[in-house]
Structure 1
Amino acid sequence: MAENVLENSVSISSIPYEVLYQIVSLIPLKEAARTIILSSAWKHLWTPIQVSLNINSDQITSQESGQQMNEIISSFLKTYENSYQILNLSYLEPNSLCKEALLLKAIKGVEKELYINFHGENAAKLFGLTIELPLCENEHFFSLKTLHLRSITGIAESFLPSLFSSCRNLESLSLEKCNVLQDVELKAHDLLQKFSVLDCEKIKHINVSSAPNLKSFVYQGPLVKVLVKDAPKLCDVTLNMKGTSALCDSNEFNSEDLVHLLASFKDVETLTLSGWLLEWLCTRITFDELEFKFEKLKELSWIDCCMNTQKRDSLASFLNITPLLENLFIKINKKWGTITRSQFQQCCPQVWPDTIPIKLDDSQLKHLKTVTFFGFKIKEENKMLAALMDLLLKKAIAIKKMSVAEPEEKLSWGVSKVPKSHLRKIRVAAASTRTCYSSKSSLLLTLNEECHFQLTPLQLKF
């Protein structure tokens, strides 16, 4: 019987390419790319199409070359419509008859997605990028829905305007590691729903002048000025501002700019925000004195590389202007940047020359239902964690669930406050397991003689 099975089995290498293309087309792009290691047959599916521009090297940034690249990308999108495909676009190097230099690598996905990674040296001169997505139909990229641009170089000045003018149905646009960009302006049609700017280290201004159906805006990078004018449906915003030496270049940035930045997003429902921004804003203003509140905010993610007393108090102060908040996530990750008070005053002494004490009050969060702590090391940060728990339980009168997640340890704990009358019993039960992290352990955290918390293991979902 084993011999019959072997006789009837079919090796991967014998499957027709048409069938392999169909199989790959059913898998998300990141997973599909891994099929390249299965066999030479699967590797063949990812053999790039090689195209060389028929232009001189001194014309590489001309309008003519931009039009040529636009036409090539258009033709590329029409090939193998139901499968992934890679394009390598090159041109002849100066003073060479045969050696080619790679301009860009493009990957086309089956979900009407296009990823372009630019190659070559970045232009020494920074430039601004205006993104105008048309309201009229264009046959070139009519079906394209997702566009991801990475490591833009100088050729983008001639190529991208033509590319953007052809994106009629675009729903998601991302710019990543584009270090030649200084300013970005977006004028979108009514189909764009997500706009992301990630790790563009030289950028200083982002202006969304029109995006009628934009729902999600994600920014990760150094401190920038962000202006959003016409995005009435924006409901999900991420501002992961890195506290790096780039602050030294922000001489024109002041506390009013931070207030305007927050005011631009006062109507969102989901907000992810760098903790150090709130900390430094609290040194100049009191959140209760602002002319606006986050009246629609239901979910807040506070992110930073650490937690201290100043960060805790600034978060508590910010929560006073989030009256309808339902879910709070406090996330610690050492990879996220921050900046110390002495560093900030050294970089920008004219911005925050002095500090204003943070005033904490007893205002309550009547709608807060869940609080989750991520990244806290319970053994090392138990006092700060207990202080946060105590503060939030005093403000949240209708909370249903509080938990602590330790992804590195693959542990998750439910939190409950221990009445003083039950303390002795729980102390005895937890004493033998205080430093044990088995699935059957329970932990006891103590803030002071009057405040204790019991942590019990939850089902892991990492």
Structure 2
Amino acid sequence: MSEQRPDIISSLPLELLLYIISFIPFESARLTPFVSTRFRFVWSQALVVAHSHNGSIEAISRFIHNFNEHDPSKNTRKMELHFDKSTFVSTILAPNNVMHMSFIFSDGSKREESFCWRIEINKQIPRRVESKGFLVKTLCLDSVYSLTHEVVSSMLLDFSLLESLKICDCKGLTSLTIDSPTKLLHLSISGCTKLRYLDIRSSKLKTLHYQGFLPSIKIHEHFNLTSAIFDVRRGPSYCNNAFDDIGHLLLIIKNSQSLTLCRWMFEELIRPIISSSWTSFQFYKLHELRWIDNSMKQENINPLISFLKLCPSIEHVFITIDSNTYSSNEELSVDSDHGSKHARVLKNLKLVVLEGSKNEEDTNQLILALQEIVNSDQPLRVLSS
């Protein structure tokens, strides 16, 4: 048996290892902790340019403003700023103008004190013109809480080029207002378990990705999304199933090319309004649908077929079966085949993928239902995994 060769690289001095990592692309460098125990320690120390106690958000602003993109050793940097003995913020400046900002607590908990948050992005006159430093175009915010949301909002006033905003795991957030009249193109929200109200004013928005309980959504301006994700399998968060702005929501997703939707959202919110007043409504540009349900029993297949009849350009359908998905307990007195007003034959449907279903009979029922709405001369693949 041959002897194992010594790990020469891991034995190098810390300063040299940190310098080497600084030249590695960020997406590769962040995998170094999996190399060895030694490299886990190295990565924890890598490119930390500040580590202060009782600091302020101004230190982060200086950190961003003083970034030198022409120095290879500073192309990927991290800053740890302690607010108190139990909380610090980790800020990483990644390639492609991406900034990650996470609030971390030494006890591993998530702060859940309730708070309302208003975010203003890209005002017509930026508070400060970014003439140098790191230009933030994508901002990922993790675990912002009641004592830090105001300072984060203040910092965002300086990000005049921000195009993409991702907010996740803000456990205490109950109400969120996004006001971006100019450049915000992409908005993603996930893991905000207390969120009840979402207020959006952003006429340029192209993608809206939401995961969690569905809040009451208020839309102030009409805009057309190309991609919309409503992974709301946990159900509604608003009281008494009241959703007053579904009409505006339908307008912004009407021309989407890609859409993720739960059956319950279609049955409770969308189908009642198109059955009663929007009888000619269709998703004309929808090419890809991701449908989430708790089973593929016949009573659940019918709403899916009804929805597909509203999508004359549909090409690909991906169905996710999650037994924990919310399902309404109410009897819905709506037309079970609203789509009959539209063309029964889907000329472009090529692929249907069913994920998570272990019942072969349900799969066969789905295939039979699909065969009734597709062109008999058209090859349709139905895959189950």
**With structure 1 as the length reference, what TM-score do the two structures score?**
0.68
Partner of 1:273: 261
Give the deviation of 1:296 after TM superposition: 1.8
Contact kept in structure 1, 2:119 and 2:153, CA below 8 Å = yes
CA distance in 1, matches of 2:144, 2:198: 16
Number of residue pairs matched by the alignment? 365
Partner of 1:458: none
Match of 1:373 among 353, 356, 364: 353
Give the deviation of 1:70 after TM superposition: 4.4
Contact kept in structure 1, 2:165 and 2:186, CA below 8 Å = yes
Aligned partner of residue 197 in structure 1, secondary structure: strand
Aligned partner of residue 24 in structure 1, secondary structure: coil
CA distance in 1, matches of 2:265, 2:241: 16
Q: Deviations over 1:301-333 (max 9, x none)?
A: 112232222321111112222222222222223
Match of 2:334 among 331, 345, 356: 356
Give the deviation of 1:271 after TM superposition: 0.8
Contact kept in structure 1, 2:112 and 2:171, CA below 8 Å = no
Q: Deviations over 1:403-451 (max 9, x none)?
A: 3131xxxxxxxxxxxxxxxxxxxxxxxxxxxxxxxxxxxxxxxxxxxxx
Q: Does the C-alpha gap of structure 1 residues 355 and 161 become closer, same or farther in structure 2, counting only changes over 3 Å?
A: same
Alignment of 1:193 with 2:185, yes or no, is yes
Partner of 1:127: 116
Letter of the 1:173 partner, please give it: L
CA distance in 2, matches of 1:43, 1:161: 33
Q: Does the C-alpha gap of structure 1 residues 42 and 205 become closer, same or farther in structure 2, counting only changes over 3 Å?
A: closer
Partner of 1:148: 140
Match of 2:89 among 104, 107, 110: 104
More deviation, 100-109/39-48: 39-48
Match of 1:91 among 79, 83, 87: 83
- Listed as ranges, the gaps of 5+ residues in structure 2 are none
Q: Deviations over 1:5-45 (max 9, x none)?
A: x99x96454494476235522x52xx532202435367434
**With structure 2 as the length reference, what TM-score do the two structures score?**
0.81
RMSD: 3.4
Partner of 2:35: 38
Contact kept in structure 1, 2:196 and 2:215, CA below 8 Å = yes
Alignment of 1:215 with 2:206, yes or no, is yes
CA distance in 2, matches of 1:46, 1:189: 39
Alignment of 1:163 with 2:161, yes or no, is no
Contact kept in structure 1, 2:313 and 2:346, CA below 8 Å = yes
Letter of the 1:302 partner, please give it: W
More deviation, 214-223/317-326: 317-326
CA distance in 2, matches of 1:317, 1:265: 17
Give the deviation of 1:126 after TM superposition: 2.1
Give the deviation of 1:237 after TM superposition: 0.5
Give the deviation of 1:241 after TM superposition: 1.1
Letter of the 1:240 partner, please give it: D
Identity percentage of aligned residues: 19
Q: Does the C-alpha gap of structure 1 residues 130 and 19 become closer, same or farther in structure 2, counting only changes over 3 Å?
A: closer
Alignment of 1:182 with 2:174, yes or no, is yes
Match of 2:251 among 260, 263, 269: 263
Alignment of 1:250 with 2:239, yes or no, is yes
Q: Does the C-alpha gap of structure 1 residues 154 and 279 become closer, same or farther in structure 2, counting only changes over 3 Å?
A: same
CA radius of gyration, larger in: 1
Give the deviation of 1:230 after TM superposition: 4.0
Give the deviation of 1:251 after TM superposition: 2.4
CA distance in 1, matches of 2:132, 2:147: 20
CA distance in 1, matches of 2:218, 2:266: 18
Q: Deviations over 1:40-61 (max 9, x none)?
A: 3674344144533547xxxxxx
Letter of the 1:184 partner, please give it: L
CA distance in 2, matches of 1:106, 1:211: 29
Partner of 2:99: 114
Give the deviation of 1:217 after TM superposition: 0.9
Alignment of 1:401 with 2:380, yes or no, is yes
Give the deviation of 1:145 after TM superposition: 2.0
Aligned partner of residue 306 in structure 1, secondary structure: coil
Letter of the 2:233 partner, please give it: K
CA distance in 2, matches of 1:132, 1:297: 29
Q: Deviations over 1:135-178 (max 9, x none)?
A: 44334765112211111112333311222112122232101011
Partner of 1:300: 289
More deviation, 71-80/385-394: 71-80
Partner of 1:21: 21
CA distance in 2, matches of 1:224, 1:171: 24
Q: Does the C-alpha gap of structure 1 residues 22 and 253 become closer, same or farther in structure 2, counting only changes over 3 Å?
A: same
Give the deviation of 1:387 after TM superposition: 1.7
Letter of the 2:33 partner, please give it: I
Give the deviation of 1:229 after TM superposition: 4.3
Alignment of 1:326 with 2:315, yes or no, is yes
